[in-house]
Structure 1
Amino acid sequence: MLGPVLADRACGDCTACCTVLTVNTPEFAKPAGTPCVHLTTQGCGIHAVRPRICRTWFCAWRRIARMPEDARPDRSGLLVSLTFVQHPQNCLEGVSITVRALEGSNAIENGMAAAVLDSVCDRLVPVWFSDGSEKMLMHPDAEIAGFVLSGDPAPAELHDEVVAWRARYGVFASDA
């Protein structure tokens, strides 16, 4: 969904994922918002032998060429990732892109959040934005999402788009 890792984008000094994300694998686990126990002032203290999840996970900035160059998490104050929710509340939460504003970020005020959202809200992939206190659906827009989630028939001008979203994400629909 995000494409391969881009050769010209490197993590450098960025360690946002090492603190912000939840990791819950048999090999390694840590709660969200807690620095990894292996994180040092120089970066990963076990980089050469780090867990598989750490060797294979890359933020969206490393994988989406149309994201602004300045959107690297430590520079932009935003961490963008592909998110998988095991028990989604609705079909638009199962597999999505999440744009997280990092603590102390001014990405909303300086326009970086808008630029990043513009770069990821152009596909048939739900996009959520979290400012740390709430999570908001940014794509599809509220009208499309309403029809997708309700199952109500969409007006002719929205029909094809609603049908495409339902076809792709209906597998995540709740039976409740």
Structure 2
Amino acid sequence: MPDRNEAALAFLATRRSRPHKLLQPPVPERAELEELLAIGARVPDHGKLEPWRYIVLEKAAMTRLAGAVAARAEARGEDEGRRDKIVAQYANASLCVAVVSAPKPADIPLEEQVASAACVAFQLLNACLAAGWGANWLTDWPAFDRPFLESELGLAAEETLAGFIHIGTAASAPPERPRPDVPALTRWVSA
């Protein structure tokens, strides 16, 4: 029989992201965040390419980005309600980690490299939650808007964003939400 890590399984069975609206200071100190980033990097990585990188966005950077998102939303013609909602994600955040998919020239398919970056985002999210922090993985249009990504985050043409991991202290625990019907989504093949 395999050695079961009951504590890890219990955590994974009940993990729940914390809505960004509930996140507030304090945030992890730099040393703790560095530990969480190292844990985030422990993911499947075919070819050991490390096809991802981090951009740590502290409060002042998030405030700056809120202004850039507002300007970009106007240029895109976003409606005011949607613009204000997205701007608030940046303006109200005290700490965020942008997980960048940074593919490398290799025989490893691009899809595998992009999937590895998504694994980094999810591993970092879970590491934050396991360490007792509130965290949430967000995207929305700024995560896919090339002018915003290149001018505000410095992404290269071949890079994309896996997501923004917002980190802080959860003001309260969110209610449980409906979960997938796993048996309905599972097909067993025996021959």
Shorter-normalised TM-score: what interval? 0.3 to 0.5
What TM-score, normalized by structure 1, do the two folds share? 0.34
**Structure number with higher helix proportion:** 2
What TM-score, normalized by structure 2, do the two folds share? 0.32
